[in-house]
Structure 1
Amino acid sequence: MDTQTNAHARADLTAGVHHPIELHALRHPDAPAVREAATGRRLGYRELWNLAGAVAARLAAAGVRPGDACGIAVDRSADLVVALLAVARAGACYVPLDGGAPRPRTAAQLADTAARVLVVAPGDTARARALAPQLPVVEVVRECSDDPLGTSHPSRGEDPLYVNFTSGTSGVPKAVVVPHRAVRRLVDAPVYCAVGQGTRVGNAANPAFDATTFEIWATLAGCGTVVVLPPVAAVGLDGWLELLRTERVEALFLTTSLFHVIAHERPTALGVLDTLLVGGEALTPEAARRVLAAGPPNRLVNVYGPTEATTFATYYDLTPERLDQVDRVPIGQAIQQTTLHVLGPDLLPVPDGERGELCVGGPGVALGYLGRPELTAERFVTAPGLADQGTLYRTGDVVRRGPEGRLEIFGRLDRQVKVRGFRVELEEIERAAVATGLAEAAVVEKTGEGPSAALVGFVLPAGRGTERAAVIRELRSALAAVLPDYMLPTRWSVLEQLPLGPTGKVDRAALLADLATRTAAVGSASEEPSEPSEADGPAGQVRRLWCEVLQVPDARDGDNFIECGGNSILAIQLSSRISEAVSVELGPADVLLAADLAELTDAVRRSVPVGR
């Protein structure tokens, strides 16, 4: 059997995603549509609809026409929900921007999509001038009269709704064009997560991450409430988990990395949820078992899907019985109106039980890559003998259909990796490194999994006489100006020459093996490392936990958390463990902003209650 499908629900694929929301505004005008957990701001459906109408009118006045692209430079908030609905009402296409990405990368995305305007939060004109001084600016409004626009553009299913960017092997991010019908397929009566009137769904994703598509559109399509959550780094892990309880969040999507941290640190905290979706990377059975054994949510679901197949393509309900004696969590079966095909290199089906490439079909498949016809033709295909299935997206993921038809994933056909839920093409980083002029050649690989996953780089300097530390310092600075933080290697090794394998290609395995056998000199090489000791009090506890979380044998006072392999997920883990061990209030931001281990230790010492 080559095809797996789930036709449980039939969405209206001919109409725009905003049409159900208009009905909710008419039938349930005062029902809560959006709630900001940090501020208490609340929007009912009629108010949301009217505010979006006012912004849509501003877009039209700025020259936006149906089909035009609109850059969205608004952080996660009620304003963001208004902005996205406004663009949909105007018949335009939104381009959500990552607020943490370097300005040149954001400017390139706006140029690639030929964005007509830039939408910002009220009063945020400085951000607009910095990002795209040449573009007209439209500010979101927070007050308006009853629906000034009156009607919305009658978008069709094939009309583009948004463009999401993913990493590209050529060094240029790929712009994925997603139509209304693909989002309707995702959000109308979803089998992977029940959303109905009043369901409170957490909104925790970066606006540029396509999990936002589920969090906002599935909620509004079901007449639920979007509960906008602050970043974990802003309130700390315990504060953030407490918000899930006090805000009565019922459904939530977590990246696998964050789920792994919570499963290890606070496995009982997720029992307040009705449905928890986990996705973005491979989920370990151990983490799922910990949560299931600790008073779990009513439903724990592993979800999988590339941006090109509109957020989710598969789901798998996790239970203790299903995880008994397994070493790999399946990605499961197709969501509604989706087909799954396991194909060989010739795009012909492989027998059940054999490995092949996962190809996804159905109305959730995107329109292709904007301005990249050759790449679109390569990845969006019609398979021999499956012409009746329409366009299929070749995911590049190697899968096997196991017992009961569920799919298991085994890796990639290419060098794409996942880091903290983000897709990363390693070649894009390598090309960017060489393009700085500082490297004659560069090799980037991923090490570790889950929260400890990291990118490591190996560089052959362009100027062979340059001091190694200077090469790494300049390269890091240059890459930070063009790549988002999740694509920046946490460790670089300077090479005298590249090791080559028998075929003349770079021997990547040799580089990784060499890295594993030596201890990188991090921080001040002149300072002798001290042995972590429980007897050292708070300072010893901090040093011990630092080594434990970063998985390093020792630490020096001058070590910087990020340069030692740290990231936002590990900062959550470290701050949580220090807070518990030393009885202090320490947040992830304290870890990330500390210049080095010594500064973090001093901050902890100052916070320790007198007498400890």
Structure 2
Amino acid sequence: MAALSVHDVVAQQVEQRPDGCAVRDPAEGEGLSYRELWERAGWLAAELARSGVRQGDLVAVPQDRSVDLVVTFLGILRCGAAYLPLDGLAPKDRLAGIVAESGTRWAVHSPRQDSLAGPAGCWAELRSWLPRGVEPLPVLYEDPGHPVPDVRSQGDDPAYVSFTSGSTGRPKGVVVPHRAVLRLALRPRFYAVEPGDQVASAANPAFDATTFELWNALTAGGTVVVFPSATGLPLDDWTALIRSERIDTMFLTTSLFHTVARERPDAFGTLRNLVVGGEQLEMAAVRKVLAAEPPGRLVNGYGPTETTTFAAYFDCTEDTLAGLERIPVGYPLQDTTLHLLDQDLKPIPTGDTGELCVGGPGVALGYLRRPELTAERFTTLPENGERIYRTGDTGRQLPDGAIELLGRSDRQVKLRGFRIELEEIERAALDCGLADSAFVEKVGEGPAASLVGFVLPSADGLAAVGAGAVAELPALLDARLARTLPNYMRPARWLVLDRVPLGSTGKADRAQLLKLLSAAPSAPDPAGSAPTAGTTLAQPPVTSELVAVLGDIWREVLSTEQVLPEHNFLELGGNSILAMQVAARARQRLDAPVDAGAVLLCDTLGELAVHVAGAFPGEGLAAGSEPAGPEREVTVS
């Protein structure tokens, strides 16, 4: 395996099934055979070489999932370079910082996506935020007439770089080699893709699940099917696409799986492989799917980005779950070793708690341009010299050999599939200049989980909002954080402190901070003032049956006692996963085509009611009202 590259294995599929479908986008009516994909990737590789890209270079990819994205990734690999996928939902300043940190001099964009402006509107404005010296290059749709470079990549050569949240306040780039991708794709234990199988491409390209979706399909002769966001369509329509597009294999983040399992537990019955990962998998959700119409194989997948998407797997069946209260992450993938170690990196007895460390060819090369951090997290076992990655996850081995995770040894959290270093958010809040102290914690579990922040205003912060207007500080802080942090890293609530509670050691007492949440109101006062702890907001009379039904659904999904027409879904702690639940329940109770995008985009519950009213035929509830706001896709974060 070490002598092969990813594109070497794809080339074998091109030879074996040149006319087989390699990638297709049902929404755009576009598709490429293996021969066509290889040809177009060759055109791009030739253009990249002409532009100065050499073996070992890094090329940024500001694109959303599409046929062009697959062409771009393969073209960059054929040039001997590595690709850097970017998140179209991230703030432009953050994207610019990542590109600058990477040191790349090229960015391959899609002219088709530029014209659509992308989900965040940043691809159309590429030149406005790309650092100076970075050259935008378009995906090619015709032969440029240049020779395709003949570059031989080796197993340890970088294939891609994936940036993740960093505890030092800036994202860190994980350098993943070809051997690690092939370890994931070849001879897999945790699923089976056959030639011609349809594999959904539904992940954000910057999320390392894309590695599984694309290369596990293309190295096996399968078809990559560009799949829409789960929040871009009503849940019924999205799940219907799984059947109509004959999807065989799919990956879902744990939070999204939980949501679909609650609302449509029979949605996965036609899948042969469903892999779920990113957070602790809920037993109740899995049992609900198994009892309804389960997929052929339901797998709990585990693995940090540094171990190339997955390092462990656990088959979820009635038999394997019998007697368990918590779903394990399970057993090592092919060519992977899992170790539970103490602080001295020595093995611990079965049943004891230790740090989970991962070895094998799936382990990344390290962090881009961060030798100190690489040395801290990537090390060798003292007993045999095996190179391992220290995950920071704590766990124990069960009697049958499966590994069960128990928590973290640091302040890293998982939220809706994203790995977040809380220190990065706290540093970003301090960098805004509005606070002297900032603390961020994760509260809740599953789809209802969210981030909450506590901030002690600085003199500049108080001056920025004006005397007597401290309640405006959270909104101002959030606006400034929006310049540098993606939505999933911005706390749903900020509580303003007049002092920082201290523990016996003199450090901030985070347990006391969390207790303040129960004393604080769950939503901002509609009048704009900041109620003191214990203040009760008066519930206004219900103005219509529609508002009452929607309000009840919000209360159920958000687990809050009070929802007013003036309240905003996101400010109450909502997110794209919970919006799917709201939309699904509203469709059931109101028989109206409510979609998750409308739940997220409408400013208030009242505005959502107007939007929904416009969807009722004839003399339905509040018929005749105009829908509020534009409709556009909102990608799960």
C-alpha distance in structure 2 between counterparts of 1:466 and 1:108, whole Å: 36
Instruction: Report how far residue 62 of structure 1 moved.
Output: 1.4
- The one-letter code matched in structure 1 to 2:141 is R
Aligned to 2:265: 267
Instruction: Report how far residue 153 of structure 1 moved.
Output: 1.6
Q: Residue 18 of structure 1 aligns to a residue in which SS?
A: helix
Report Cα offsets for 1:419-475 as digits up to 9, x if no partner: 110000001000100010001100000011111110000000013556222211110
Aligned to 1:61: 50
Q: Is the 8 A contact 2:43 2:148 kept in 1?
A: no
- The one-letter code matched in structure 2 to 1:528 is A
RMSD: 1.6
Report Cα offsets for 1:111-155 as digits up to 9, x if no partner: 11111201100253743212316321111123449x964554210
Report Cα offsets for 1:226-256 as digits up to 9, x if no partner: 0110112222222111111110000000000
Higher mean C-alpha displacement, 597-606 vs 329-338: 597-606
Give 1:455's match in structure 2, choosing from 451, 457, 469: 451
C-alpha distance in structure 1 between counterparts of 2:162 and 2:71, whole Å: 18
C-alpha distance in structure 2 between counterparts of 1:466 and 1:283, whole Å: 45
Aligned to 1:340: 338
- 1:554 equivalent to 2:562? Answer yes
Q: Is the 8 A contact 2:72 2:139 kept in 1?
A: yes
- The one-letter code matched in structure 2 to 1:404 is D
Instruction: Report how far residue 579 of structure 1 moved.
Output: 1.2
Instruction: Report how far residue 82 of structure 1 moved.
Output: 0.4
Q: Is the 8 A contact 1:417 1:424 kept in 2?
A: yes
Q: Residue 232 of structure 1 aligns to a residue in which SS?
A: coil
Note the 1:210-221 alignment, pairs <5 A: 210-221=208-219
C-alpha distance in structure 2 between counterparts of 1:118 and 1:238, whole Å: 37
Q: Is the 8 A contact 2:45 2:148 kept in 1?
A: no
Report Cα offsets for 1:54-108 as digits up to 9, x if no partner: 1111111111111111000011101100000011000001110000111111111
Give 1:207's match in structure 2, choosing from 205, 208, 216: 205
C-alpha distance in structure 1 between counterparts of 2:439 and 2:163, whole Å: 23
- 1:411 equivalent to 2:407? Answer yes
C-alpha distance in structure 2 between counterparts of 1:208 and 1:606, whole Å: 36
Aligned to 1:317: 315
Aligned to 1:196: 194
Aligned to 2:630: none
C-alpha distance in structure 2 between counterparts of 1:142 and 1:267, whole Å: 42
- 1:605 equivalent to 2:613? Answer yes
- The one-letter code matched in structure 2 to 1:140 is V
Report Cα offsets for 1:134-190 as digits up to 9, x if no partner: 321111123449x96455421000100111011111101111100111111111121
C-alpha distance in structure 2 between counterparts of 1:504 and 1:531, whole Å: 48
- The one-letter code matched in structure 2 to 1:141 is L
Distance 1:531 1:361, change over 3 A: farther
- The one-letter code matched in structure 1 to 2:254 is T
Query: How high is the sequence identity, in percent, across the aligned residues?
Result: 50
Aligned to 2:625: none
Aligned to 1:503: 505
Note the 1:284-363 alignment, pairs <5 A: 284-363=282-361
C-alpha distance in structure 2 between counterparts of 1:443 and 1:353, whole Å: 34
Instruction: Report how far residue 413 of structure 1 moved.
Output: 0.1
C-alpha distance in structure 2 between counterparts of 1:266 and 1:143, whole Å: 44
Report Cα offsets for 1:277-330 as digits up to 9, x if no partner: 000000010000000000100100000000001100000000012223422100
Higher mean C-alpha displacement, 132-141 vs 34-43: 132-141
Give 2:518's match in structure 1, choosing from 511, 516, 534: 516
Aligned to 2:138: 139
- The one-letter code matched in structure 1 to 2:483 is A
Aligned to 2:496: 494
C-alpha distance in structure 2 between counterparts of 1:267 and 1:520, whole Å: 31
Unaligned stretches of 5+ residues in structure 1: 1-11
TM-score scaled by length of structure 1: 0.95
Aligned to 2:631: none
Q: Is the 8 A contact 1:523 1:556 kept in 2?
A: no
C-alpha distance in structure 2 between counterparts of 1:289 and 1:531, whole Å: 40
- The one-letter code matched in structure 1 to 2:35 is R
C-alpha distance in structure 2 between counterparts of 1:323 and 1:27, whole Å: 40
Give 1:433's match in structure 2, choosing from 406, 429, 440: 429
Unaligned stretches of 5+ residues in structure 2: 115-122, 529-536, 621-637
C-alpha distance in structure 2 between counterparts of 1:339 and 1:76, whole Å: 32
Aligned to 2:380: 382
Q: Is the 8 A contact 1:361 1:393 kept in 2?
A: yes
Instruction: Report how far residue 404 of structure 1 moved.
Output: 1.1
- The one-letter code matched in structure 2 to 1:529 is Q
Distance 1:377 1:302, change over 3 A: same
- 1:468 equivalent to 2:470? Answer yes
C-alpha distance in structure 1 between counterparts of 2:26 and 2:468, whole Å: 51
C-alpha distance in structure 1 between counterparts of 2:371 and 2:326, whole Å: 36
Aligned to 1:401: 397
- The one-letter code matched in structure 2 to 1:373 is P
- 1:24 equivalent to 2:13? Answer yes
Distance 1:511 1:384, change over 3 A: same
- The one-letter code matched in structure 1 to 2:616 is V
Give 2:418's match in structure 1, choosing from 417, 422, 426: 422
Report Cα offsets for 1:353-394 as digits up to 9, x if no partner: 10100000000000001111111111001122131xx21000
Distance 1:376 1:531, change over 3 A: farther
Aligned to 1:246: 244
